[in-house]
Amino acid sequence: MAFEFTDDNFEKEATRGVAMIDFWAEWCGPCRIIAPHIEALSQEYAGKAKIGKLDVDSNPQVAIKYRIRNIPTILILKDGEVFDKHVGVASKAQLAEKLEAALA
């Protein structure tokens, strides 16, 4: 299961190594489309990258910090710095390609 990022754990969990964060909300249709990709990638990249989701309605502080205005937004952080950003629906292959680039 994908990791659940929150305002409280984000700094500790997302700032070391490579992290992929799916900024989403329960009411967001496109977020539901991308959710299975995030789940699959979290299993495939276990031990290589921290992959998870952050509910913007429950955790607004991180979304504000990274200026998330549209969802779904996928942020890839490398050692706490934004490495890549994708807004909208993406295929699993597209997300894996971005993840591989960050891990290289």
Q: For 32, how many CA atoms within 13 A lie in the half-sphere containing its CB?
A: 4
d(CA 49, CA 32): 22
For residues 76 and 84, the answer to whether their CB atoms sit within 8 Å is: yes
For residues 56 and 68, the answer to whether their CB atoms sit within 8 Å is: yes
7-43: burial string, b at 16+ Cβ within 10 Å, e else:
eeebeebbeeebbbbbbbeeebeebeebbebbbebbe
Report domain 3-103's class. alpha beta
Mind listing the pLDDT tens digit of every residue in the chain (104 residues)?
A: 789 999 999 999 998 999 999 999 999 999 999 999 999 999 999 999 999 999 999 999 999 999 999 999 999 999 999 999 999 999 999 999 999 999 99
Give Cα 38 distance to the centre of its chain.
Answer: 8
d(CA 12, CA 24): 20
Catalytic residue set? 28, 31
Q: Read off the tokens for 8.
A: 């409280």
